[in-house]
Amino acid sequence: MNPPLPEPRPHDLLALSATAPPFPDAPPWVDASLARAPFVVVRRAPRMGSAIAVGIRGTARSERFGAWLEPRYIDSALTPEALRLRQPDASRENMPAFAFLRAITPILDASGLAWGPAGSTGFELASGVPTITTHSDLDVIVRAPQPLSHADASRLLDALSLQARPAGTRIDVQIETPGAAFSLADFARQNVRVLLRHADGPRFAADPWAAP
């Protein structure tokens, strides 16, 4: 018997098992998308019974579909931290988002925080299916289980922004606390409340690590 999978977290990519049924009420492009790359991403939303909130992406930015998936249909899970260790196909490694990811790796590693790529970059690293374009942003998840000071956040943002300018690629860093997420840029640039993304909806907080 395979060991149980860890509890999925937002941004984890889940590989569907061969026995996974079609998603009810899905638009026509969903079946084609899953045939091409049988992966879904965990959404930040409450479970429906035991089913996990997931999202399916298509080939166009407008093609996004939210659904729920029973854990028994998960074949494997890939976290952003695991995807950080993967390499793109050699023919794709010089795409701007991948080149930028390599450039900022020493900066993020030096922070001492767990991190990894998400969004289209993470999806391509997980599935092997070409997903990013020359204009794709780089989405990064940084785990911060303990409070991060505004000064440390500002230094990290400045270092990443310095690399972003010559790369010509925009970076979006989400800081993940044990119960929510928020933008590194918002937190670093202001000493007021930040918008927290919770499973039950967004809210503002002065201290992102305070218990809800």
Looking at 137, 152, 172, 186, which residue is catalytic?
Answer: 137
Say if residues 42 and 79 touch (Cβ distance below 8 Å). Answer: no
Contacts of 130 (CB under 8 A, 6+ apart): 92, 124
Query: Measured in whole angstroms, how far is the alpha carbon of residue 110 from the centre of its chain?
Result: 20
Choose the catalytic residue: 25, 31, 139, 172: 139
Q: Are 71 and 42 in contact (CB under 8 A)?
A: no
CA distance 160 to 167: 11
153-160 long-range CB contacts below 8 Å, 24 or more apart?
153/184, 153/187, 153/188, 154/188, 154/189, 156/107, 156/108, 156/111, 156/184, 156/188, 157/184, 157/185, 157/188, 157/189, 159/107, 160/104, 160/107, 160/108
Catalytic residue status for 139: yes
HEC profile of 37-98? CCEEEECCCCCECCEEEEEEECCCCCCEEEEEECHHHEEEEECHHHHCCCCCCCCCCCCHHH
Q: Which residues form the catalytic set?
A: 137, 139
